[in-house]
Amino acid sequence: MSTGTADLLDDPARLLGTDRAVVRAHIEGLSAAPHVGREVFQQAEAIFGGAEVPRAEFASWLQFAAKVLGHEGYADRIAAAEPGMPWRTVWAWWRPVGKYVAHPNLTSRDTLTLGRQMHNGRELLHVHAAWEDTWLDLETGVQVPAPPEEARVPLPLYGAQGVPRLDECELSAPESWDSASPLGGADGRTRYLVDDICGLALLETDAAVLRDWPRGWIDAESSEEGTPGRMPFFAAPHGPLTAGRVDDAFAPVKVVRIPGHELPAALEHTASRAHLRDIGLPSWWACGMTTFEPCPAQEMTPLADDALGRVEVPVGFEASDLLPLGSGNRCGVRDTVYLHRRAGSVHVKESLELVQLSPDLDHFTRVLEGVRRYMSACWYPYPDEDASGNFFTEMDALAPGTVDSDGPSGQVWLQFVVGITGLNEDGY
């Protein structure tokens, strides 16, 4: 391979012809400004590792990474630069290394089902699991609305016969490539659906290329060792919460919003009223042994003066300042979450103390959303990820000393989030 570095990240053909150690050294000297080529290279090595593979196979890695990141133009240029790739990516619905997203979430593998359906002349893939109920266009990977049940025609998911199998080739890739089954297709193409804890991908191959590719097996060791270079970095989501953002994060669970005319009259805090009306809360939320379910609007009435009993409240607080916001189980104990009707802060009872969980509903919702975004990564991180540590860093930055602290609020929040930060998905 050559050692030239000028513009190599901008030109896939030159990138493929440059020693990868030289590329890593070149990247070290670049500024932090976004760069598509750098992002693709680092993502490829983060997913597939540092194994030395043929140029054509590394092109497959790069093209896959570009698809994962949504850099379609760069993916096309890689494919054009190396027509001898052993496999190429049609689409990838996949969590990038270093990025924490609510979807895809293909955990709870015992609940995962994949169904192939025909609707209006298009093949669709139905992905159903504990945290997913998603429909994808099988040709493009684009998410589509669920078609009417009566308009669906079931198709066999697999079934292509007499075609080369990826697991008969000498390749370096994650373990899920080994079980990628060929899909039948009327157009004669051989496509493979990769089903991984990190997502789904549709691959296709060229029979002529595979015919001459060395025989052997798929070696997953490199992908399990992690990147030989820098970890990809993605900034935390920024900007205000929106209805669309929370709808996406909590799906398939519906988000509850209270129409303005139904908001509790006792709620005086303007921002809280706007949040409940425009942003909303998940109709059901769970993490480990802790759950939350918002109260119906008609039940959000001020507490009676003696409702808290001997619970100590902050100076200036009265029980009647609090409205029930929601209820659920907190580590196996039934619990109520309260909203201060004038200040907008969120509270729970902990022993004989009223503890402030969040300064406002925005913060409370962001932490619940954060759990959903980090869930899959915390349970199944890539080799170089510290998902739990990154979760606490991001959440604490929202309101320092609230979530990641040894104080009362931190101890209560830990009961909300330990299901992803301290336990696996089976609760151990």
Average pLDDT, integer, range 133-156: 95
Q: Which helix (H) or strand (E) holds 66?
A: helix 55-69
**pLDDT (tens digit per residue) in 38-96:** 999 999 999 999 999 999 999 999 999 999 999 999 999 999 999 999 999 999 999 99
Percent of the chain's residues with pLDDT above 70: 96
Kindly write down the DSSP assignment for every residue of 78-145, as one continuous string: HHHH-TT-S-EEEEEEEPPTT---SS----SGGG-EEEEEEETTEEEEEEEETTEEEEEETTT--EEP
pLDDT of 186: 56
pLDDT given at position 3:
46
What distance in Å separates the CA atoms of residue 116 and residue 185, rounded to the nearest whole number? 12
Residue 367 has pLDDT above 70, yes or no: yes
Condensed to tens digits (0 to 9), the pLDDT of residues 212-224 reads 999 999 999 999 9
Q: Structure pTM?
A: 0.94
Specify the pLDDT at position 337.
Answer: 97
C-alpha separations of 381 from 46, 169, 384, 388 in Å: 12, 27, 8, 9
- What is the model's pLDDT at position 2? 44
Structure tokens at 374: 């980090």
Residues 6+ apart with CB under 8 A from 207: 163, 164, 190
The predicted pLDDT at position 302 comes to 97
User: How confident is the model over 348-361, as a mean pLDDT?
Assistant: 94
Read off the pLDDT of each residue in 131-154 and give the average, rounded to a whole number.
96
Looking at residue 312, what DSSP letter applies?
B
Looking at residue 185, its pLDDT comes to 59
Structural domain boundaries in the chain: 12-225, 243-421
Q: Is the four-CA dihedral 7, 53, 33, 245 of positive or negative sign?
A: positive
Please, are residues 144 and 135 in contact by the beta-carbon 8 Å criterion? yes
Query: What's the confidence (pLDDT) of residue 323?
Result: 98
Q: Express each pLDDT in 291-342 by its tens digit.
A: 999 999 999 999 999 999 889 888 888 999 999 999 999 988 899 999 999 9
* CB 410 within 8 Å of CB 400: no
Determine the Cα–Cα distance for residues 359 and 56; give it in Å rounded to an integer: 54
pLDDT confidence bin for 428, thresholds 50/70/90:
confident
Q: How far apart are CA 222 and CA 172, in angstroms?
A: 7
Q: What pLDDT does 1 receive?
A: 43
Retrieve residue 85's tokens: 């790739």
160 has pLDDT over 90: no
Q: Which of 246, 413, 421 is nearest to 346 (CA)?
A: 413
Task: Give the tens place of pLDDT for each residue, 195-213.
Answer: 999 999 999 998 889 889 9
